[in-house]
Structure 1
Amino acid sequence: MPIKLSVERQTNVGRLCKITEWGTFPDAIDIQTPAYLTYTRFGHIPHITWDVAENELSLKQKQIYQLTLASLQTNVGRLCKITEWGTFPDAIDIQTPAYLTYTRFGHIPHITWDVAENELLLKQKQIYQLTLASFFEALETIEKESKNEGVASFCCMPLNSIRHLSLHDPLAKIPEGFNNNKSMAIWSGKAGRRSIEPENFIKILKTCKPHSFTALWDYDTPFNVQKKRHGKSLFRSSEWNIALFEKNHTVFEEPGFLPLAGGISKESRLAFAKYFGPKPYANGFLIDLYHFSHGENIQNKSEFEVDVVADLISDVTLLIQQDVPRLVEGAFDPYQIYCLVKNGCD
């Protein structure tokens, strides 16, 4: 239903109007303008109870209360609810902030699937992180032996588990200097470097059958690189994802998490956000902080300084879609996780 407004007259200080209907509000109203919205946070007027607002203030006009998305933002981050996850067929209820459960070759280290599913008694459905680097050499066998359920069947994972495919193993080797204009490098156990191009990544997704995945990006921007290298990182990442999502006209059933990279350069991170933020296939975002994580085999790591990290990502989260998840991959301690959540990560 419309908002019905009639202009009564124009004066030297603006126009005087009368509002008689307001959207789906069922009753007739009489609001003279200029007027204002009464601000609320989480459905409440700060420092005033609803009893006082409705019965004691003696306002002459009906109030219009402003409900904002900021009501979901708390002093320690935003609170969200995930009800669907990619191609996972069932409805879910996952409250954020949350985490991915790390696996290597489709297994949680030191925990059997029987214990994970039946003994841990977790309150929320888990999202398991499949790390491509840990099973890259088995892709050919997975394709032959597990055509229906992909890597989950091959690794004997519970078939009702939610699976997200990450490219790196955050606890394995991530050296620098091996990406090029055509491909992204990952490091596969003892086999060493393997290159992923957009064309073979599409085949990998069809083989593995995850419910979501991390898209390709040029992560090789440690703290000591020049501005020109940051520009090359954005160029490569954009070209790979154009080839992945646009040139091949591939329609992915699984949502891809697009990269928000840029190393320690705030300018570069904002450039990533401005480029990837509006993309129609942006179903989630990966905030790349690998060089700040606890992975022992990451080359040219940076110290996780709370103020530095907050400055790098806080403005980035304002430039992207607000109704999609923001993911950070890597190993972080509880205080670092608190910092990430406080600055808009889910």
Structure 2
Amino acid sequence: MNTGRVLPLLGGQQGAYVEVAGRMALNFSSNDYLGLAQDEGIRDQAFQMAAPYPIGATGSRLMSGQHELVALLESELAAFFQMPSALVFGSGYHANLGVLPALTQKGDLILMDKLAHASLIDGARLSPALLRRFSHQDMGHLKQYLERYHGKVNRIWVVTESVFSMDGDQANLAEILALARHYGAKVLVDDAHSVGIMGPQGRGVAAPYVSEIDVLVGTFGKAFGSYGAYVLASSQIRDYLIDRCRSFIYTTGLPSYVLAVSLLALRRLPELDTERGHVAGMAKRLRNGLSDIGQAVLGDTHIVPLLLGDSELTSQVSRWCLDSGIYVCAIRSPTVSEGAARLRLSVTGLLKTADIDQVTTALRGYLKA
């Protein structure tokens, strides 16, 4: 079934405003949470840092694509996130698609939150393990599965996002990890939407629990303002992934400039507490401002989903927003369940109070009309 999706044509830089199909609009659709993708200092330093290396990686990392920059980035990632080792991947999708198939075998079980990202679902489906999905954020349902399968399968993996990309809510990592400990399960957490923008020094909401997490996935494509992803784990798991993970082995390494941007962004994260506080404040202001519209405003983070339900209505509101100078994407089935269409408003550090108030006033006026 054709859902009518189209690729929006964006021009120039993407800051608080973005050019969409020739018109300027407030940008509420970017994952550049800290504005680092627009940072001229990082851009200029990255060109200098990457200059001694080939433009492209020239091959997979097991052949000619293992350059000094990627080794340095992995070393600093492991140190910053306080994990034993790091492995850089071509994208978050590459990481999530390959890790579970590499680390599981027939007779294993994957228990995954029902609203986990599509890349995690695809990775689980490619694995030889049995997949069961527990109701979103339902610790009772997770416990039921753990009790049912404990002692009946070889190994259990519990898989979740830390901040859910379409609902903007936070996983109950403390309880998930407590259950995993009790039943002897392994845990994989995708921290893509919290790393950089949440947690101490931007180390993500998983930071207090890293000693209990077996695999922690993060991305450079959001708060880092770059591209690519990484897996944090034990040295043993890292070595195993290098040897067995197909989405790592059979793909070209990242270009030197991209690696340099990611490395420079990583070094900047600890000094951006003010920016993180600004984003949290703007997100709270937006959520509070939309609370009287009558539809549910989901989550409690910088991702602010306005639940409208009907796909056509959601698309209509998104088009009206663009005509009104506000760029916010409609999220419809199959990305979310039928009847759960929404506007996904993404708050970044480049937005100001007046920008938040503009979108709040516009949406309130349109939806109450």
Q: Please report the TM-score for the alignment, with normalisation by the length of structure 2.
A: 0.28
In our comparison, the structure showing a higher alpha carbon Rg is 1
Structure possessing the higher relative contact order (Cα contacts under 8 Å, 6 or more residues apart):
2
Q: Please report the TM-score for the alignment, with normalisation by the length of structure 1.
A: 0.29
